[in-house]
Amino acid sequence: MAQTIFITGTDTGVGKTVLAALLAQFLRAQKVNAVALKPICSGGRDDARKIFSAMNGELLLDEINPWHFRAPIAPLLAARKENQKVKLPEVVAHVRQMQKRFDVLIVEGAGGLLSPLGENFDSRDLILKLRAAPIIVAQNKLGVINQILLTIEALPKHFRRKTKIVLMSPQKPDAAAISNPKLLSEFFDAKRIFQLPHLGKNLAALKNPRIQKMFRKLAR
């Protein structure tokens, strides 16, 4: 069974897709048989297409993202607007098939940890069913400590011990961005807190040894 990493977040738009695509790119560059998936999305397929581009054709777009809906609202509601239902066993079955093909599987959720993805399930339910190692992505800004701690609290204790946190640096950091990592380490193991600088379109930064070291630790 493949090692499975599940990327969730404190909210929508915090950088989950960026991290999923970059981590998959990094692993594949290291000759690891790894891919990323975003099984469910709403409001278009831009995120899924970013992952598809990062995979260089390893998977079809429909393999990366089987369930997609037009309305820019929670996937559960977006599916209902199209008279469709997304059910947990179907999503788990799709991911299980991918686990048989690859050594490392990166699965990205939609929205925050408890955002409803389908009928009676959310990203937390997927994490538990897949027994995945969670990565919580958050924007490094004022107020994020509360959001991260609430997200961690929502995970069962066994999964909290496997959780890692990635603070994504915004283009224009506020004053709290400097102090957040240290403050967060008072509540959470500092060795499992990571910071990704704002890359913009400068993906050459992935060759930076410090960033490569971070990705190695994230994938363990």
Collect all residues with Cβ–Cβ distance below 8 Å to 114 and sequence separation of at least 6. Answer: 122, 123, 124, 154
The pair of structure tokens assigned to 88 is 């947990």
- Alpha carbons 79 and 194: distance in angstroms, whole number: 34
pLDDT (tens digit per residue) in 86-145: 999 999 999 999 999 999 999 999 999 999 999 999 999 999 999 999 999 999 999 999
**Does 164 participate in catalysis according to the annotation?**
no
pLDDT, greater one: 204 or 16: 16
Domain boundaries, the chain: 3-218
| Strands 40-42 vs 67-69: parallel, antiparallel or unpaired | parallel
CATH number of this structure's domain 3-218: 3.40.50.300
- Alpha carbons 179 and 161: distance in angstroms, whole number: 24
Cα distances from 58 to residues 31, 53, 98, 137, 200, in angstroms, run 13, 9, 12, 25, 25
pTM: 0.95
Instruction: Indicate the residue type of 184.
Output: L
Cα distances from 116 to residues 63, 70, 86, 148, in angstroms, run 21, 16, 10, 18
pLDDT on residue 220: 87
Q: Which of 16, 31, 38, 213 is catalytic?
A: 38
pLDDT (tens digit per residue) in 150-181: 999 999 999 999 999 999 998 888 999 999 99
